[in-house]
Structure 1
């Protein structure tokens, strides 16, 4: 029964701390939040499998970790240079229908990845794109050129 109680206590602590971190999807986690999720099992597992008889060590460790994440996110919110240093800045990958190869190489983004994102927004040719921006969260934002309307789609037997 001791193991069940330990798991419940750790679960409640982690859920409360995650709630304090805010409402974000996993794809929107900052690097600090992602590292936190990776470190939590290392901190709490000894208490759960009884390698460490003290549940207190796990609770103190997890609480300290979540407190650090909260304080860093608070500091990043108020100190913009710190936010840029930790989260990074957007990177322009396409400008006015032309690949910026140096930026693409530095960010390790292939033309195929850009074309894939273009297709998701209904663009088929690179000259239809004003900008493609790699956001700090790793997502690609595709901004179409205002003078290039979406090309008409070819008829498909699936449309009927």
Structure 2
């Protein structure tokens, strides 16, 4: 039972830390942030299992983490109002070609990171961006100026 309680405490701590670290994808992490996550994993293992290196202890720790991850997933599915609180919400970072500096500071993004993501999306100039939205998963969605939504097709239409 001690392992389950320690695993629960570590899960909560890890969840809060990841939320505080911000919205970054693995590909956007600096080498230091990646090493930090690896080291955190080792430290968490030591804190959860303490001196219990048994198969049962490891299975209990992993099972507890999986239980809480699944519980949070179901909670956001069943109670949509919890989704923004637990998963975060999208944030507009460019509006009509103008960068919203306050939102960049809030998520610790730089202008260079936005320009890099624009280039990856095939957008050459900031003036060509109508909206850029930082998604809860860390990706940036771009909507180019003058882009019209695709026409809706009926289910019976042939493609």
| TM superposition score category, shorter chain reference | 0.5 to 0.7
Q: Which has the higher contact order (CA 8 A, sep 6+)?
A: 2
CA RMSD between the two structures: 2.9
Show structure 2 runs of 5+ residues with no match. 1-24, 27-36, 148-159
SS of the residue corresponding to residue 59 of structure 1 reads helix
Shift of residue 56, structure 1, vs aligned partner: 2.0
Show structure 1 runs of 5+ residues with no match. 1-25, 28-33, 148-160
Report the CA distance shift for 1:53/1:107 in structure 2 as closer, same or farther (over 3 A): closer
**Counterpart check, 1:42 vs 2:45:** yes
1:65 aligns to what?
65
2:133 aligns to what?
133
1:23 aligns to what?
none
Q: Is the 8 A contact 1:43 1:62 kept in 2?
A: no
Shift of residue 116, structure 1, vs aligned partner: 0.9
Deviations 1:115-139 (A, max 9, x none): 1111112221111000111000111
Q: Is the 8 A contact 2:93 2:103 kept in 1?
A: yes
Shift of residue 70, structure 1, vs aligned partner: 0.9
Computing the radius of gyration from Cα coordinates, the structure with the larger value is 1
Report the CA distance shift for 1:68/1:55 in structure 2 as closer, same or farther (over 3 A): same
Cα distance in 1 for residues equivalent to 2:102 and 2:48: 44
Aligned residue runs from structure 1 range 49-128, under 5 A = 51-52=51-52, 54-128=54-128
Report the CA distance shift for 1:46/1:106 in structure 2 as closer, same or farther (over 3 A): closer
Superposition TM-score, scaled by structure 1 size: 0.59
1:10 aligns to what?
none
Report the CA distance shift for 1:109/1:53 in structure 2 as closer, same or farther (over 3 A): closer
Q: Is the 8 A contact 1:43 1:58 kept in 2?
A: no
Superposition TM-score, scaled by structure 2 size: 0.59
Shift of residue 61, structure 1, vs aligned partner: 2.4
